[in-house]
Structure 1
Amino acid sequence: MKNLAGLMKQATQMQARMEEMQSKLEGMTIEGSAGAGMVQVTLNGKGDMKAIKVDPKLADPNEMEMLQDLIVAACADARKLLDERASEEMKKVTGGLNLPAGLKLPF
């Protein structure tokens, strides 16, 4: 029984650290870019888009498809960077354990 109580205590402590990590992530901003920085997208730590910047040189009506592609690429880049940062923070909390996304502790 001592082992079970110890595991539950560790799980509760890990949950508290995960909540701290989540708060830290929510306060972050991540910027992704495409087209050599001509399109930049800023996400908050939840993944919500907060800003988009487009170089005026891309505002050619004949090049709208390229602009749209660059916006999508910049969003994907920002999301990838956010996921990498979240993964790094998760490893700090779990000591390198690869826990499934969305796992709620304690069990």
Structure 2
Amino acid sequence: MKDLMGMMKQAKAMQEKMAALQEEIAQLSATGRSGGGLVSVTLNGRGEMAALSIDPSLAKPDEKDILEDLVVAAHNDAKVKLDQAMQEKTQAMTDGLQLPAGLKLPF
């Protein structure tokens, strides 16, 4: 029974850590750039676009397709950076825990 109580305490501590981690992740932001910095996109911790910056030199009607591609590339760059930051925070929190291989956190 002592082991069960220890496991329950560990589960509660893990739950509290996960709540804190989710709050930290929500506060993250990542900025991706494309076109040599002519386009930048900032995402918040939930992956939502929070800001978009486009250099005025790209606002030419005949270069619309290029601009659209640069926005998509900048968004994807920011998403990769955000995912990496989330993974690092999750890894730091779960160091030392014996979790099953392949378990994806946060849930």
Q: Is TM more than 0.5 here?
A: yes
On the 8 A contact 2:90/2:106 being kept in 1, the answer is no
Secondary structure, aligned partner of 1:99 = coil
Aligned to 2:19: 19
Flag structure 2 segments of 5+ consecutive residues without an equivalent: none
Secondary structure, aligned partner of 1:36 = helix
Q: How many residues align?
A: 103
Aligned to 2:31: 31
Question: Which residue of the other structure, out of 86, 100, 107, is the alignment partner of 2:104?
Answer: 100
Partner amino acid, structure 2, of 1:69: D
On the 8 A contact 2:42/2:78 being kept in 1, the answer is yes
Secondary structure, aligned partner of 2:11 = helix
Kindly report the root-mean-square deviation, in angstroms, between the aligned alpha carbons of the 2 structures.
1.6
Partner amino acid, structure 2, of 1:91: Q
Distance of 1:58 and 1:94 partners within structure 2: 44
Partner amino acid, structure 2, of 1:58: L
Q: Which has the higher contact order (CA 8 A, sep 6+)?
A: 1
On the 8 A contact 1:38/1:54 being kept in 2, the answer is yes
The CA deviation at 1:28 is: 2.0
Identity rate, percent: 44
Aligned to 2:60: 60
Greater mean deviation of Cα atoms: 42-51 or 1-10: 1-10
Dislocated runs of 4+, deviation >3 Å:
none
The CA deviation at 1:27 is: 1.5
On the 8 A contact 2:31/2:42 being kept in 1, the answer is yes
* TM value normalised by structure 2: 0.86
Distance of 2:80 and 2:19 partners within structure 1: 22
The CA deviation at 1:102 is: 4.6
